[in-house]
Amino acid sequence: MMLIDTLKILFKRDLNKLKDEISLYQNEVNLWHTEKGITNCAGNLCLHLIGNLNCYIGAEIGKTDYVRKRNLEFSQKNVPRIELIKKIEATILMIDFALDKLAEKDLQKEYPILVFTEKTSTGYLLIHLTTHLTYHLGQINYHRRLLDN
């Protein structure tokens, strides 16, 4: 299996898990609840992941017209659960579309924009994005279990 296929499987798996986590909140209000010492609620982490992936994969690789508004990912509140789920589903489709445009050799090429302190390959950035997704997915899972009990 090629790396691009593996990345597509991982993104789809974890974005579907994100959709499940958002759906599993017993009280939709808790998606936007923060506790002492926890600055980001599940709703904002979900918006952040959607924005992050649509920026770095959608706009750059897929050439979508997505324009990221990163500050809104953390300040916007009370987006209905159904809207979050629709955004996740659209992100899954976008990733398949964008990654289908890549050949394996493209993964070795320099990613077109500076994301970290120095330039990286496209492959490096895509792998980073999978780990970023799972990091926040774990936070959302923990947030949900903490508030639902």
127-148 pLDDT tens trace: 999 999 999 999 999 999 999 8
44/41 Cα distance (integer angstroms): 6
Beta partners for 110? Answer: 121
Domain ranges of the chain: 3-148
What share of the chain in percent tops pLDDT 70? Answer: 99
CB-based contact 133:12 (threshold 8 Å)? no
Long-range contacts (CB closer than 8 Å, 24 or more residues apart) made by 103-108: 103/4, 104/2, 104/3, 104/4, 107/3, 107/4
In CATH terms, the fold of domain 3-148 is Four Helix Bundle (Hemerythrin (Met), subunit A) (1.20.120)
pLDDT band at 87 (very low <50, low <70, confident <90, very high): very high
